[in-house]
């Protein structure tokens, strides 16, 4: 067994792909908050590929964190000199590589060391993968009056949040005459750069309006679209890596082969030439975001609720169930694909084919429970905008209304065999109460204004939703799907 570390890299040749560059020649140019599985399978892989070409060696990553629960991960990465493995898995395929793009990590919570990194003139980009929950969202907007943000604004000298530290560093760089960095959000959120800018400038405005104006004028916040299915690593995967490769990695990552990153080309002080390794730089990321939201994310919901209700566990199980697969294709092709934007050089049909193949990958083990998570946040973003567009155009929304009814049936909290569905949404209690009331009065669920808005009073949608929900309780999921597909044939 070979432990990961700079001293042992030569011993890993033949066991896995290793960096083709000398890590001693790397210098940091990017500070990253949140060195979790997705970041290491996505941004770090793109940078590793770039470094392998002999370019960009002044853009290595320094890993940062603010949460105490991150400390074990950072300690393990530090012990491995920032090295880790990424294994791409598909049916019958496993390819492992050692990724070397993280130069070092700073212990989470070490404020002085974190600010030293953020104020280093060599750091020209600050990137973030802090999850959706890290943005203090209240509905569709961040809550700038959250106690954490208010506390940081009142005492920037002791800032503890990601955003407080960014603002404190921006102030220090301004005062020292250091070039501004770019703040690049890599979380899976629509218009993530705009959202990040709102939080940063909002916090800065509470602390010092002049500082907020400086940030507004000098720091770029590009929007980006990221994609790669990267589930949590399991003990079985760690054991299999050791058995198959002989590599002892305390923090391995397993992911699908597919990877995508689309970034608006708006940077304050330069960027790495990642277009050389597959990153797409554009003026406006919005069409790419919409295509993903309308086809991939809405597709997740389309398979998750019916498949879970009939007792399936994984996404690939759903895609191998003939009825669920036919329902997925029907909704995608007839109601979702037409609402996705046209992008020059990008085929919506080819994108759907890729999504279909990705969902069916059995090696990922992506659970339906994960796909069904947080429907109160995801339905208004992924499903209901397409409903509104199609209603405005006088087009059929029957399939999308059935997706909504299936979500309501799921929120009741019981599978069709009577097994309990454990809470799977931050608003589970509210959703479950509404779903239970809706068993007899379907429109009660549509009274969730934070989710449905004015759709609850749209007679076309409300009637379709109500009819589907009554049928789900009377006849069951499979019979309702069969009936829908027979109608749609």
Alpha-carbon gap, residue 431 to 462, rounded angstroms: 17
As a CATH number, domain 287-488 is 1.10.1040.10
Residue given tokens 């554009």 in the structure block:
282
pLDDT higher for 460 or 426?
460
Q: Are 384 and 301 in contact, with CB atoms under 8 Å apart?
A: no
* For residue 278, pLDDT beyond 80: yes
Q: Per the structure block, which two tokens stand in for 270?
A: 């330069």
Query: Which pLDDT score is estimated for 63?
Result: 98
CA separation, residue 196 to residues 89, 292, 375, 489 (Å):
32, 20, 23, 45
pLDDT at 189: 87
Q: DSSP character for 125? A: E
Is the per-residue pLDDT at 75 higher than 80? yes
Q: Summarize pLDDT for 183-218 with one digit per residue, the tens.
A: 999 998 889 999 999 999 999 999 999 999 999 999
127 pLDDT more than 60 = yes
- Superfamily of 2-284 according to CATH: NAD(P)-binding Rossmann-like Domain (3.40.50.720)
Q: Which residues pair with 86 in a beta bridge?
A: 97, 253
pLDDT surpasses 80 at 488: no
Interior CA angle at 323 toward 318 and 325, to 5°?
50
Residue 132's pLDDT band, with cuts at 50, 70 and 90, is: confident
Name the pLDDT band for 93 (thresholds 50, 70, 90).
confident
At residue 138, the pLDDT reads 80
Give the pLDDT confidence of 463-474 residue by residue, as tens digits. Answer: 999 999 999 999
Q: Are 406 and 445 spatial neighbours (Cβ–Cβ below 8 Å)?
A: no
Write out the two tokens for 110: 């070490």
DSSP lists the bridge partners of residue 2 as: 247
CA 111-113-116 angle, to 5 degrees, is 110
So what's the pLDDT on residue 35?
A: 96
In whole angstroms, give the CA distance from residue 480 to residue 468.
7
Strand partners for 33:
64, 128
How far apart CA 479 and CA 64 sit, in angstroms, is: 51
Give the neighbor-by-neighbor strand order of the sheet with 280-282.
224-227, 260-264, 280-282
Instruction: Write down the domain spans for the chain.
Output: 2-284, 287-488
**Residue 177 pLDDT level (bands cut at 50, 70, 90):** very high
How far apart, in whole angstroms, are the C-alpha atoms of residue 79 and residue 60?
18
Q: Distance between CA atoms of 281 and 291, rounded to whole angstroms? A: 16
SS3 364: coil
Q: What is the mean pLDDT of the chain?
A: 96
Q: Report residue 414's pLDDT band, with 50, 70 and 90 as the boundaries.
A: very high
Q: At residue 326, does pLDDT exceed 60? A: yes
**pLDDT tens digits for range 351-395:** 999 999 999 999 998 999 999 999 998 999 899 999 999 999 999
CA–CA separation, 81 and 100 (whole Å): 9
CA distances from 197 to 34, 184, 287, 398 (A): 18, 10, 20, 38
Rounded-to-integer distance, Cα 317 and Cα 298, Å? 18
Residues forming a β-bridge with 420: 414
At 484, list the tokens: 């829908």
Query: What pLDDT score does 489 carry?
Result: 52
Q: Where does the pLDDT of residue 23 fall: very low under 50, low under 70, confident under 90, or very high at 90 and above?
A: very high
> Which residue's structure tokens are 């995967």?
237
CA distances from 90 to 94, 179, 240, 369 (A): 7, 44, 15, 21
Tell me the whole-structure pTM to 2 decimals: 0.92
Q: What's the whole-number mean pLDDT along residues 236-259?
A: 95
What is the C-alpha R_g of the chain? 24
């Amino acid at each position: 067994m070979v432990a990961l570390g700079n001293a042992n890299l030569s011993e890993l040749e033949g066991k896995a792909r290793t960096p083709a560059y000398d890590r001693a020649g790397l210098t940091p140019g990017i500070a990253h908050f949140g060195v979790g599985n997705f970041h290491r399978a996505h941004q770090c892989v793109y940078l590793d590929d770039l470094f392998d070409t002999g370019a960009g060696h002044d853009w290595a990553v320094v890993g940062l964190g603010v949460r105490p629960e991150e400390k074990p991960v950072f300690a393990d990465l530090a012990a491995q000199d920032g090295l880790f493995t990424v294994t791409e898995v598909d049916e019958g395929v496993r390819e492992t590589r050692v990724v070397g793009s993280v130069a070092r990590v700073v212990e989470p919570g070490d404020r002085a060391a974190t600010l030293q990194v953020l104020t280093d003139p060599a750091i020209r980009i600050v990137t973030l993968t802090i999850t959706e929950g890290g943005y203090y969202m209240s509905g569709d907007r961040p809550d700038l009056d959250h106690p954490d943000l208010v506390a940081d604004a009142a005492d920037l000298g002791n800032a503890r949040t990601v955003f407080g530290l960014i603002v404190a560093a921006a102030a220090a760089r301004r005062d020292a005459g250091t070039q501004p960095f770019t703040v690049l959000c890599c979380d899976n959120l629509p218009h993530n750069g705009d959202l990040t800018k709102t939080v940063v400038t909002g916090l800065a405005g509470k602390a010092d309006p002049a500082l907020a104006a400086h940030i507004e004028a000098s720091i770029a916040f590009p929007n980006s679209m990221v994609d790669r299915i990267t589930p949590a690593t399991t003990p079985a995967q760690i054991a299999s890596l050791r058995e198959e490769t002989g590599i002892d990695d305390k923090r391995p990552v397993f992911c699908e082969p597919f990877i995508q990153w689309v970034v608006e080309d708006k940077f304050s002080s330069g960027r790495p030439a990642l277009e050389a390794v597959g990153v797409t730089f554009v003026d406006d990321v919005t069409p790419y975001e919409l295509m993903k939201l309308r086809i991939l994310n809405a597709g997740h919901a389309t398979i998750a609720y019916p498949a879970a209700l009939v007792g399936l566990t994984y996404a690939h199980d759903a895609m191998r169930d003939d009825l669920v697969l036919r329902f997925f294709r029907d909704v995608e092709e007839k109601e979702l694909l037409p609402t996705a934007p046209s992008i020059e050089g990008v085929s919506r049909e080819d994108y759907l084919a890729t999504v279909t193949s990705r969902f069916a990958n059995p090696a990922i083990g992506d659970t339906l429970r994960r796909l069904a998570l947080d429907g109160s946040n995801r339905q208004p973003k992924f499903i209901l905008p397409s409903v509104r567009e199609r209603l405005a155009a006088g087009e059929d929304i029957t399939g999308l209304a059935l997706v909504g009814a299936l979500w309501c049936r799921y929120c009741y909290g019981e599978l069709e065999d009577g097994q309990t569905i454990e809470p799977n949404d931050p608003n589970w209690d509210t959703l479950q109460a509404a779903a239970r009331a809706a068993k007899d009065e379907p429109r009660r669920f549509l009274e969730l204004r934070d989710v449905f808005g004015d759709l609850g009073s749209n007679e076309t949608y409300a009637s379709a939703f109500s009819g589907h929900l009554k049928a789900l309780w009377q006849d069951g999921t499979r019979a309702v799907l069969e009936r829908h597909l027979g109608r749609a044939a």
